[in-house]
Amino acid sequence: MFALVRNPRIFFRDHSKLREISAFWSEKRLEAEPRRSEVPMAGLATFNFKLSQLYPGSGEHMLNTCSNPDCSNFGQPMTERAERRELWRSKRPDLTPEQLKLFETNGPGAYKLAGSKGKHLRVSSSFQFEHNPHEWSDQRTIQCLGQTRDGAPCKSGFSILSPVHLEEEIDRLRNYNGVLDGPACGACGIRLLDKPDEFALNGTHERTKDRDGKPTKKKAAPKSIRVVHKPCKGKKGARFSVSLPHAGQKNTADNLRILAAILNSAGIIDIQRTLSIATGKSIGMSRIYDRIAWFEEVYLAYEREMLRRWKAKVEKSGELIEHRLSHDDMVLTVNWETAADRRNTQLNCAVTADARSGYVYRLDVDFDPRVAPLDVFNSTYLNEDGQPQNLSQEYPGSKVASAPKFSWQRPTGRFHESQFFGACVNEIRAFQIRAKRRMPKKTKDQQDERKEIIDRTNGMITKIREISEGWFGFPFNDTDERGSFKGVTTRDTYTKGAHFALLKEMLPYGSIVLTTEQEATLPPLLPHIFDQEIRENRFTWLAMSFNKKATKPERQRLVNGYRRARKKFRDQGLYDGRFSPDMDEQAITEAYIASGLSTALRGTSSPFQISNYKTKSFPSLWVKSPTEASGEISKVVGFPIVPRPFRQSLKRIPYDQEQLDVDLRAELSPLVYKATLQPVSSFMNSLRTRLSVADRADSGGARVGGSYIQGAIFKPKILVSILNIYRVHYNFFEERSYACPYAEIDDLIDPPVMIQRGMPIPGTDEFIDLPPKPKRMPAKKTPAMRHGMDAFTKKKDGSETPPDLYRVLYRPWLYMGTKLGARFERSRKTGKSKKVLSEKQA
């Protein structure tokens, strides 16, 4: 019998039960296909709800509340009308009936359901709605009924999101898909790194005596250390052993070769081939994948420890710093996993970096590699007997007794659900192709067995489509993109929210200036993630745009023209007495910006911003900057969130106001000066250049479909690991010159070095002397060194170099700050053993 064992809910051993369920779902498939095509789209039954029935709460980050910082509902969850009336009646008994009614209808917590977009419309035509299809919207919009500070109705709208899904995404990204989870108690599941004080050391695994019975000298670290969870002491699994990540590696000599290949555009096959040539032995893929996972863990643990030390140092100094951050997105495409499924997986990467140092804080991908789509579908939407479950939301006491779960109610709502359901179907179809090709079919029994497997898996496909299309109304995903079989793409909204929530945890206390592009997912998220900073006037959000299609000669011409114009402006100011010779260069640049600001419009009369930014929550004025620094040509800047006093006056200015007064220009110019995307652009350009796995998978046209990239990754999990490795290496171990976007180049203050030149005459030993050429020699440092982290090695001459990579790789960074880490550190290798290891590496 052809053995298939994956999930007992799908692969039955009882063939009578198998035939019964397969027949049931095959019958449903035959009935459902024509029914869905015949359902008329007009005159369908609908569901009518009140907001109180659908409202999922606000959660820790105040989702599903008004995002207008100047509204009475900012950060205020929905409350019932009667509840608001009783609250204000008891709180303010002196209110008149008219005032009480105003608080009741427009007070804090007043919202209502609004319309929904057509792209979210769904039709349920299966199960109890088989003969009475219902049309409904999978995404509902809430309208704010609060009032702004000037007494006007707010009327801003936002889509309902799930606080639970956001917390799940934060938990996933906090430890980088579980890479930094660390060991946990086998009795209760509490992780050692979450509550280290609850764990105690319980001995080591090492030799204490030699073969002669004499005590050994403890020079090397123990192989592993026993740990016990004190609250669970005596229970099974409460006592366990912890070893360093590299303890199980039989051969460490190839580690740096693998790392160098990963960081220098080598594909997985290239790494295997290079190692085989260097060692003369065949290297298995499993070793390469294991080493990649090990590098990712060590690098991320090292970075977390360095960030913890840096944050503690800054907070101890008491210095209030201004974090100037730049955020942008990068899209990567992963190769298909099977030739039968010629579709690529698109991954969106959220990147945020520090503008002054170029340090890249986070790179988060909207992909969860821990999840197997088909297993999640089975455990979520099928019970133990393979029957549907968890499809409806109950509304007791309502006219609508039950209805299909909305996106914020479904357990799979955190995922990109159309790709999620498509991945479930595609995995089964890929299996069918392999089964037809590999299963024998010579005898009648073999043919029957083969047919049984195909019928069985067809029933599984029917079951998935009946739930995804027939019940939840998702159209079948048949595009050139698909979800991976070995993970699930997540909704970019939740990934972005988790990205910024975790970014805020990494930063020491201070003010934040964040520059982004006009991303549609940000307006409903950023005001809630940075709620406290907005209330304390410590958060500024700048949105900018520039000409990314400008050619290199055009960029160089405009940048040189800007430098000449600024120098002329500075010289004129010195001559007029407006500037002094010792005046700060930033103040001069801000004055130059103020003199050249102009209103930005799209075309001749339309607002420049996209529709998501055309709300009362944000000022409507966008301006053009006269600067052409850092290659950001034709820069246009908007001001979604600025400190409160200036924000209220800025909102009163129309988007097309031509004349900008002197005071307004003086307030806008420092913000325009700070707006830049250069650090993330530099990192993404480096990533595209250095890593072949980050190549774009261009479309091969409608007839051909997506293109396959030789050497690129087909496992999204491996791609995410390599991205993490490259980011940490970029931050800590690669010296490079970095021109801060705020640094002004002045030949008088910072004169270039004159380099002598000569041109050889062909066929002779003679040279022609050429005029010397000016050249600047910027200092090369790592982003971490520029950022103020103690991540460097100091030489005898006082110069600083990146840390010794070999020393970094074999230290217990994951357990630093715990008793376990201190025990491993106490028994580190001596300098002599380190020298031996270095010789082995060479």
pLDDT for 793-817, tens place per residue?
888 888 888 998 888 898 889 999 8
CA distances, 548 to each of 556, 697, 738 (Å): 13, 20, 20
Cα dihedral 616, 618, 622, 625 in deg (nearest 10): 170
Handedness of CA 699, 701, 706, 712 (dihedral sign): negative
Q: Which of 406-415, 660-669, 755-764, 828-837 has the lowest mean pLDDT?
A: 828-837
Q: What is the mean pLDDT of residues 627-632?
A: 83
Which pLDDT does position 43 carry in this prediction? Answer: 61
The structure tokens listed for 277 are 């040539």
Q: Is residue 222 situated within a structural domain?
A: no
Q: Are residues 560 and 669 in the same domain?
A: yes
Which pLDDT does position 219 carry in this prediction? Answer: 57
Q: How many domains does the chain have?
A: 3
What confidence tens digit (pLDDT) does each residue in 56-71 have? Answer: 999 999 999 999 999 9
The structure tokens listed for 321 are 């710093």
Q: Are residues 109 and 21 in the same domain?
A: no
Q: Are residues 31 and 66 in the same domain?
A: no
Asked which of 610, 642, 675 is the last residue of a domain, the reply is 675
Q: Are residues 71 and 98 in the same domain?
A: yes
Q: What percent of the chain has pLDDT over 90?
A: 49
Which pLDDT does position 117 carry in this prediction? Answer: 74
Q: What is the mean pLDDT of residues 746-771?
A: 75
Q: Are residues 653 and 615 in the same domain?
A: yes
Element of type H or E holding 380: helix 373-381
Q: Examine the pLDDT at 212 and tell me if it is beyond 50.
A: yes
What confidence tens digit (pLDDT) does each residue in 50-109 have? Answer: 999 999 999 999 999 999 999 999 999 999 998 988 888 888 888 888 888 888 898 899
Q: What is the mean pLDDT of residues 19-31?
A: 49
**Predicted confidence band of residue 363 (pLDDT cuts 50, 70, 90):** very high
What confidence tens digit (pLDDT) does each residue in 26-53 have? Answer: 454 444 443 443 444 456 778 888 999 9
Cα 114 to Cα 112: distance, rounded to the nearest angstrom: 6
Q: Which residue has the higher pLDDT, 776 or 282?
A: 282
CA 280 to chain centre: 40
Q: Examine the pLDDT at 618 and tell me if it is beyond 60.
A: yes
Residue 824 and residue 225 in contact, taking contact as beta carbons nearer than 8 Å: yes
Max avg pLDDT among 274-278, 557-561, 601-605, 637-641: 637-641
Q: Which residue has the higher pLDDT, 209 or 604?
A: 604
Q: Are residues 595 and 618 in the same domain?
A: yes
Residue 489 and residue 415 in contact, taking contact as beta carbons nearer than 8 Å: yes
CA distances, 587 to each of 244, 327, 590 (Å): 52, 25, 5
Q: Which residue has the higher pLDDT, 246 or 571?
A: 571
Cα 264 to Cα 689: distance, rounded to the nearest angstrom: 9
Cα 803 to Cα 315: distance, rounded to the nearest angstrom: 24
Q: What is the mean pLDDT of residues 212-230?
A: 77
Q: Are residues 109 and 24 in the same domain?
A: no
Residue 667 and residue 646 in contact, taking contact as beta carbons nearer than 8 Å: yes
**Predicted confidence band of residue 344 (pLDDT cuts 50, 70, 90):** low
Which pLDDT does position 161 carry in this prediction? Answer: 95
Q: Is residue 536 situated within a structural domain?
A: no
Which pLDDT does position 743 carry in this prediction? Answer: 64
Q: Examine the pLDDT at 175 and tell me if it is beyond 90.
A: yes
Q: Which residues of 414-444 are buried (b: 16+ CB within 10 A; e: fewer)?
A: bbbbbbbbbbbbbbbbbbbeeeeeeeeeeee
Q: What is the mean pLDDT of residues 121-128?
A: 90
Max avg pLDDT among 37-46, 117-126, 652-661, 747-756: 652-661
Q: What percent of the chain has pLDDT over 70?
A: 85
Q: What is the mean pLDDT of residues 666-694?
A: 89
Residues in a beta bridge with 353: 326, 360
Which pLDDT does position 501 carry in this prediction? Answer: 97
What confidence tens digit (pLDDT) does each residue in 323-340 have? Answer: 999 999 998 877 655 544
Max avg pLDDT among 26-35, 170-179, 562-571: 170-179
Cα 617 to Cα 69: distance, rounded to the nearest angstrom: 7
Q: Is residue 602 situated within a structural domain?
A: yes
Which pLDDT does position 14 carry in this prediction? Answer: 45
Q: Examine the pLDDT at 593 and tell me if it is beyond 90.
A: yes
The one-letter code for the residue type at 375 is: D
Q: What is the mean pLDDT of residues 200-217?
A: 74
DSSP letters spanning 225-291: EEEEEGGGTTSTTSEEEE--TTTT-S--TTHHHHHHHHTTT--HHHHHHHHHHHHSS---HHHHHHH
Q: Are residues 76 and 111 in the same domain?
A: yes
What confidence tens digit (pLDDT) does each residue in 704-716 have? Answer: 344 444 444 557 8
Cα 728 to Cα 641: distance, rounded to the nearest angstrom: 31
Which pLDDT does position 830 carry in this prediction? Answer: 45
Q: Is residue 755 situated within a structural domain?
A: no
Q: Which of 517, 510, 515 is nearest to 533 (CA)?
A: 510
CB atoms within 10 A of CB 241: 15
Which pLDDT does position 668 carry in this prediction? Answer: 95
Which pLDDT does position 758 carry in this prediction? Answer: 83
Q: What is the mean pLDDT of residues 440-454?
A: 92
Q: Which of 272, 302, 309 is nearest to 287 (CA)?
A: 272
Asked which of 160, 177, 192 is the last residue of a domain, the reply is 160
Q: Is residue 469 situated within a structural domain?
A: yes
Q: Examine the pLDDT at 834 and tell me if it is beyond 70.
A: no
Q: Which residue has the higher pLDDT, 598 or 426?
A: 598
Q: Examine the pLDDT at 215 and tell me if it is beyond 60.
A: yes
Which pLDDT does position 335 carry in this prediction? Answer: 62
Q: Are residues 21 and 102 in the same domain?
A: no
**343: three-class secondary structure by DSSP:** coil
Q: Are residues 21 and 120 in the same domain?
A: no
- Domain span holding position 386: 15-38+378-396+420-481
Which pLDDT does position 37 carry in this prediction? Answer: 37
Which pLDDT does position 484 carry in this prediction? Answer: 56
Q: Examine the pLDDT at 833 and tell me if it is beyond 50.
A: no
Q: Are residues 476 and 561 in the same domain?
A: no
User: What secondary structure letter does DSSP report for 386?
Assistant: S
- Strands, E, within 34-188: which ranges? 45-46, 111-114, 121-124, 134-137, 141-144, 157-159
Q: Is residue 719 situated within a structural domain?
A: no
Q: Which residue has the higher pLDDT, 142 or 265?
A: 142
Q: Is residue 141 situated within a structural domain?
A: yes
Q: What is the mean pLDDT of residues 362-379?
A: 93
Residues in a beta bridge with 66: 74
**Predicted confidence band of residue 842 (pLDDT cuts 50, 70, 90):** very low
Q: Are residues 52 and 33 in the same domain?
A: no
Which pLDDT does position 253 carry in this prediction? Answer: 77
Q: Is residue 704 situated within a structural domain?
A: no
Q: What is the mean pLDDT of residues 740-745?
A: 65
Asked which of 656, 675, 694 is the last residue of a domain, the reply is 675
Residue 576 CB burial class (10 angstroms; 0-12, 13-18, ≥19)? exposed
CA distances, 446 to each of 432, 439, 440, 458, 470 (Å): 15, 8, 6, 18, 34
**Predicted confidence band of residue 381 (pLDDT cuts 50, 70, 90):** very high
Q: Which residue has the higher pLDDT, 746 or 298?
A: 298
